[in-house]
Chains A and B, each alone.
Chain A
Amino acid sequence: MMRPRLVDGARLQYDDVREEHVLLIPEGAVRLNDTAAQVLELCDGRTLDEIAAVLSERYQGADVTDDVRELVDTMGERGLVIDGAA
């Protein structure tokens, strides 16, 4: 996926009752850990490499490209993220 973005109508939100991040989708909610929430927040049309670069900076230069790709692919298989470049 070149430029991952959330599918139409998906909305990231912090659930302050359960104290966790969720991706709200039609008639469902996907619970997210902090890392997943950070990645999805950046799925706004920028490239995978750009997303990885932003996160790498947050994590003292660690190479997170593979982790980001894996997460984005998993979300893609579930129909939650699509390729904005396609």
Chain B
Amino acid sequence: MTQEHDKVDGARRSFIGAAAGLTAATVAPGVILHTVAAAPRAEAVTDKVRWGMLIDTAKCADGCTACVQACDRENGLDLQIKPEGASEQMWDRQRAVWIRKVQVQDNLTGRVTNLPMLCQHCEHPPCVDVCPTGASFKRADGIVMVDRHTCIGCRYCMMACPYKARSFIHQVVAEKLTATPRGKGCVESCNLCVHRRDHGEASTACADACAAAGHHAIVFGDLKDAGSAVSKAMAAAVSRQIREDLDLNTGVRYSSI
């Protein structure tokens, strides 16, 4: 691949973004300011809010999987059953996972970093760019998710995602939760506990579990609210995006790496 190919064309992106914005303004000229309430959301989400996370890898404990387990439990991923006859290796590769604990080692210094890896909720999500049906979409409040009603299971988004954040459901799902419908033939990934967002809850399952385990490595909140815990944490600490060379402006950021 040449240097020219690697470079992100920012002007092209902003042109497409402006065109999309113009379309949105024509379609919905009167946007009402929305305030988060405890009751189920009655009005459409707006871009006054952008949900995001700051993960402090220094606080992320070695061997702890509290966030992964909480995510599995919240979204019914722990109800998955290994298909009969499938090998352990195949099941490890194919079972749906929304958060993975990745360990990165600096070969020069030997320093090991724990990196909980999940959907990064990009401002410019490649998965949305490639989706042929519009099933992969970015909600107005910045959550990148899959509309399973329209997903045809082509898995282009899985190939496009630089973070390997998405999973495909290969088997019929026998048990599923009311809050997280999931079934065979669709792609899925972290949706920042969207059902909690729509009921005005403050946090995500993983952030709650991390705090309950005493690590407080995950801070969740509104990136556009300067007073939110996540904005304050980002203002205070050096944070980085994974693959920041792609200019995706991720909603999930990491500090101490």
Chain B associates with chain A: no
Residues in B lying within 8 Å of A, measured CB to CB: none
Residues in A lying within 8 Å of B, measured CB to CB: none
